[in-house]
A = this chain, B = another copy of it.
C-alpha cells in the first residue's frame, strides 16, 4: 500500500540540487539579514529569485518581516509575486503596505491577478487602492470586480489579440509587429465579426506555418469553446480539462468578446477545487496553513460540533442497550472495532463517489450501476473481514456465540456503509449541495450508530 517511490525521488532531487526554487540556506540568510536590520543585504539576496520562489520566501517569513522585505526591494519587487502568494498572506501583506504602495504594485499586475487580489480585501482598502490607480486601469478592475466571485469574468485577463475575420496571415503579422501594447504571452488570435463577437480562434502554431496570403479564417480551429462571463470556475476548469484547451474566449451575454482565460489560471482552479474536496472530506472548510490559531479554530469548530451531535446518535443506541453491556462487557470492547471498520468502509466508498462526481465519471445515468457495484464490494469485503473478526473474537473471548454475532454484525455494517457511502453524496448532489460535505462528519457517525444497533440488538436477543 505504501508508495515511497515518488517521495523518494523527490527527496533525491532535492539532495542533488535539481529541484528549483528556494533553498533552506537562502531562507536562513534572508531571515538573519532581516533580524540584523540589514535590509539591503536581504533585498539583494531576494532579488535574484523567480517571482514564484520569492512568494515562497515571503510565506516562510514572519508576518511583520514581509512588508519590510517588499519595501526594501522597492522597484525590484516583481509585481506578479503577489499572484503566487497564498491569499491569506497576500491580503495581510497588502494591508501592511498601505493603499499607495499597494496601488503601485497593482498597477503593474495583469487584470485577472489584480482583480483576484482586490476581491480578497475589505471594501475600504479595496476602494482606497482603486482610487490611487489611474482612471483607465480602475475602470477595467471595477468591471472585473462586478462579476460574481468564482466566475469566468473574475478569471479572465482583459489582454488578448482579436482581429477581423477577413484579414490574412500577412496583415496579422504586420499588425502584431507594429503594435507595442499587446499582451506578453498569448497562444491564439481570436477572430471577431463586426459586432466583436468571436467567430474563430487561430493557434499561433498555425499562423507561423502559413504563407502571408492565407486568410486567418481558414486556419481557425474546428470548435470554439466560448465561455459566458458568469460561468462558474468549476465549469471552466471542467471545459479546459475535458477538451484540453490552452485558452478560451470569455463573452458577454450579447456574445461580445470580453477577455480570455488561459490554462495557467485554470491550473490554479483545478488545484483549488481538488483541495476543496480533500479538505471537506477531512472536515475542514478551507486551507488554513497561514491563518492565525484563533481564526483556524473558529473555522474548524462547527465541524467538531456537528461531529459531536452526530456521534450522540451512536451513544443513544448504546445507552438503550446499557443493561446488555453490564451483563457482557465484551460488547463494549468490540464496539470500537465495528465502528472503525464501518467508518473506514464508508469513507472508502465516499471518497470514490465524491471524486467520481467531481470528474463526472459518475453521472445520473450510471449511478444505479455504481450502487449495485458498491453493494457487491461491501458484501465481498464484509465476508472477508467477517471471517477475520470471527476468528479474532473466538480467540480473544473464547465465546462461539459472541463470535458469530459479532461477525454477522460486521457483515451488515460494512454493507450498510457501502449503501450510505454511495447514496448520501448522490442525494446531496441531486439537491444542489456540494457532495464533498457528506464527509466523515455525517456519514461515519450514522454508520457507527447502525453498526452498534445491529451488534447490540443481535447480542441482546441471542446471547443474553
Residue of A277, A373, A377, A434 with most chain B CB atoms under a 10 A cut-off: A377
A64 at the interface (CB under 8 A from B): no
User: How far apart are the CA atoms of A411 and B288 in the complex, in Å?
Assistant: 22
- Asked whether A363 lies within 8 Å of B52 as measured between CB atoms, the reply is no
Residues on B with beta carbons closer than 8 Å to the beta carbon of A19: 235
User: How far apart are the CA atoms of A208 and B74 in the complex, in Å?
Assistant: 34
- Asked whether A267 lies within 8 Å of B264 as measured between CB atoms, the reply is no
- Asked whether B20 lies within 8 Å of A242 as measured between CB atoms, the reply is yes
Closest residue on chain B to residue A322 by CB atoms: B329
- Asked whether B271 lies within 8 Å of A434 as measured between CB atoms, the reply is no
User: How far apart are the CA atoms of A355 and B185 in the complex, in Å?
Assistant: 31
- Asked whether B1 lies within 8 Å of A437 as measured between CB atoms, the reply is yes
Residues on B with beta carbons closer than 8 Å to the beta carbon of A364: 24
Residues on B with beta carbons closer than 8 Å to the beta carbon of A205: 182-187, 204
Closest residue on chain B to residue A205 by CB atoms: B186
User: How far apart are the CA atoms of A347 and B279 in the complex, in Å?
Assistant: 9
Which of A35-43, A93-101, A122-130, A224-232 sits within the interface? Answer: A224-232
A191 at the interface (CB under 8 A from B): no
Contact of A344 among B279, B348, B370, B441 (CB under 8 A): B441
Residues on B with beta carbons closer than 8 Å to the beta carbon of A360: 56
What DSSP secondary structure best describes chain A's contact surface? helix
User: How far apart are the CA atoms of A335 and B360 in the complex, in Å?
Assistant: 39
A177 at the interface (CB under 8 A from B): yes
By Cβ-Cβ distance, the 8 closest A-B pairs, closest first, are A282-B351, A274-B274, A311-B340, A204-B204, A293-B376, A297-B380, A332-B332, A307-B344
Residues 173-208 of A, flagged 1 when their CB comes within 8 A of B and 0 if not, give: 100110100111111000000000000000111011
**Which residues of chain A (364-381) have a CB below 8 Å from chain B?**
364-366, 370, 373, 376-377, 380-381
Residues on B with beta carbons closer than 8 Å to the beta carbon of A301: 381, 384-385
User: How far apart are the CA atoms of A186 and B290 in the complex, in Å?
Assistant: 38
User: How far apart are the CA atoms of A278 and B59 in the complex, in Å?
Assistant: 25
A287 at the interface (CB under 8 A from B): yes
A178: min CB distance to chain B, Å: 9
A325: min CB distance to chain B, Å: 5
A-B contact pairs, 14 of them (CB 8 A): A7-B433, A204-B208, A207-B208, A246-B246, A246-B264, A271-B274, A278-B281, A289-B370, A296-B373, A300-B345, A304-B345, A308-B337, A323-B329, A343-B444
Residue of A53, A205, A361 with most chain B CB atoms under a 10 A cut-off: A205
A223 at the interface (CB under 8 A from B): yes
Residues on B with beta carbons closer than 8 Å to the beta carbon of A176: 208-209
A357: min CB distance to chain B, Å: 9
A326 at the interface (CB under 8 A from B): yes
Residues on B with beta carbons closer than 8 Å to the beta carbon of A381: 297, 300-301, 304
User: How far apart are the CA atoms of A418 and B387 in the complex, in Å?
Assistant: 35
Closest residue on chain B to residue A298 by CB atoms: B380
A352 at the interface (CB under 8 A from B): yes
A146 at the interface (CB under 8 A from B): no
User: How far apart are the CA atoms of A222 and B10 in the complex, in Å?
Assistant: 26
- Asked whether A336 lies within 8 Å of B333 as measured between CB atoms, the reply is no
User: How far apart are the CA atoms of A83 and B281 in the complex, in Å?
Assistant: 29
- Asked whether B243 lies within 8 Å of A283 as measured between CB atoms, the reply is no
A239 at the interface (CB under 8 A from B): yes
A402: min CB distance to chain B, Å: 13
Closest residue on chain B to residue A284 by CB atoms: B348
